[in-house]
Copies of this chain bind each other. A is one copy, B any other.
Amino acid sequence: MGIRGVADRAKSASHRLVAIETEAKNAALVSIATALQNNAQAIIAANQADLAKAQEDQLAEPLLKRLRFDQAKLIAVCDGIDSLVGLDDPVGQTLAATELDKGLELYKVSCPIGVIGVIFESRPDALVQISTLCLKSGNAVLLKGGREAAQTNRLLTDTITQAGEAAGMPSGWIQLLETREDVAEMLSLDDAIDLIIPRGSNAFVRYIMENTTIAVLGHAGGICHVYVDGDADLEMARRIVVDAKCQYVAVCNAAETLLVDEAIAAAFLPLVQTDLEKEGTEIRGCKKTVALIHCPAATEEDWRTEYLDHILSVRVISGLSEAIDHINHYGSGHTDCIVTNVPERAAQFMTRVDAGNVFWNTSSRFSDGFRYGLGAEVGVSTNKIHARGPVGLEGLVIYKWKLLGQGHIVGDYDGTGRQFTHTKLDKKYPL
């Protein structure tokens, strides 16, 4: 079966999933968790085979760590499924209700998006998280994982498919793509696939966007900033900068640029440099920074760079407005922080910085679906429409307008006839 067939099966499954009750979806999720536990030995063995191959191919240590799917990871994903069962169903929520006229009632009701294609890195736990988020939100899903995880992914998908179908989920709601050619074909099927979520590098997300007319939810890298205001608590600022930069450098919500108000730069920079050096992190500074502390000079390119490494670019600026302008010019709209004791400045920063996540007196590293309490996340979005920041269940639904009438026709509202009442109703969709 080609990808056309795969996508058509997914579309059919999505048309059935949309009508499945919350209880049935939750029961299927419980069955899936049980099946994963029952199949633990085989899944871990498959992962061992993937790991052996990856080691042969000299995959880097951090990537091997992500690829590993052991008993601990299995327990973690099953705990994740448990939490997901406990969350409200995002489908069927009444978002608005309006009486258009007597007996003519309009409801805006949440519903699944349909068929979602997700392309993700070699992390088997992501496969479980993504597919169960899609099931809970009533979406069919086509999954393309990294090739290093091929054997693990195949067994996980088989396990989830069988447990899901045995619990009454429609055949085809979860399917695995295997090759890059499969992905290329998927990108052309805009009649069957409603949303593509590519996880990976900026260049990869861009490639996907340039090669499909399907809507794409992705992120354009994480050039995250911390701005330390002239009226900041400098001890707090030190802790936040170190956490934002050094706690885990390889992730998109790590800070890449520190902006420092010139009023406190001479006092603050030597302190933070000492802290960062302890963590093995190097500063690249603007001219004013270089005049205050010993460090290499930053170039224009540094302000646009997502290091994902133990490097922090530092710029001394004249104050709040220049900080906001810098971030809106060089940032990627991911996560930006202000450290200040002045609420009005925090308010300005949070209104005017154009990013999905804007933080006051806290670290950029909190920008994450689990930490936000969304359950897991299917990805992170720096898009400006539909969903922004960490995307959990709520980003996987859309809505329908449902209009209930009693034979109403538009011809009766033609200027001289009946008038619309447009009264807000405080009730749920009744059907």
Residues of A within 8 A of B (CB): 14-15, 18-19, 98, 100, 104, 106, 111, 113-114, 194-195, 206, 209-210, 213, 215, 217, 233, 236, 239-240, 242-244, 247, 324, 328, 343, 346-348, 350-352, 354-363, 365-367, 371-373, 383-386, 388-390, 398-411, 413, 420, 422, 431
Contact = CB atoms under 8 A, between A and B. Distances in A.
A352 B19 contact: yes
A194 B98 CA distance: 30
Contacts of A114: 354, 384
Contact of A106 (B328, B372, B398): B372
A371 B420 contact: yes
Given A357-B401, A360-B404, 11 more contacts: A206-B213, A236-B406, A243-B410, A247-B411, A346-B404, A347-B431, A359-B402, A359-B405, A363-B405, A366-B405, A367-B403
A385 B196 CA distance: 11
B373 A420 contact: yes
Contacts of A217: 385
B18 A362 contact: no
13 contacts: A14-B354, A19-B351, A114-B384, A195-B385, A236-B406, A350-B400, A361-B405, A362-B405, A362-B406, A362-B409, A366-B403, A371-B420, A386-B386
Given A215-B385, A373-B100, A358 B407 contact: no
A372 B406 contact: no
A174 to B, nearest CB: 19
Contact of A409 (B240, B328, B404, B411): B240
Contacts of A247: 409-411
A139 to B, nearest CB: 10
A407 B361 contact: yes
A359 B431 CA distance: 12
Given A358-B402, A404-B362, A410-B366, A384 B243 contact: no
Contact of A385 (B113, B361, B401): B113
B355 A406 contact: no
A401 B354 contact: no
Nearest to A365: B410
A165 to B, nearest CB: 20
Contacts of A355: 400
Contact of A243 (B239, B350, B366, B409): B409
Nearest to A413: B371
Contacts of A244: 409
Contact of A384 (B373, B398, B422): B398
A305 B405 CA distance: 27
B362 A104 contact: yes
A239 B362 contact: no
A402 B358 CA distance: 5
Contact of A328 (B15, B365, B406): B15
Nearest to A243: B409
A199 to B, nearest CB: 17
A411 B243 contact: yes
Nearest to A205: B213
A328 B14 CA distance: 11
A218 to B, nearest CB: 11
Given A15-B328, A354-B114, A371-B100, A399 B388 contact: yes
Contacts of A328: 15
Given A372-B100, A385-B194, A361 B406 contact: yes
A419 to B, nearest CB: 11
Contact of A360 (B98, B347, B405, B411): B405
Contacts of A363: 405, 408-410
Q: When A and B form their complex, which 5 residue pairs have the shortest distance between CB atoms, in order from nearest?
A: A362-B405, A243-B409, A373-B422, A365-B410, A347-B431
Contacts of A366: 100, 104, 403, 405, 408, 410
Nearest to A394: B96
A239 B409 contact: yes
| Residue of A104, A365, A411 contacting most chain B CB atoms (<10 Å) | A411
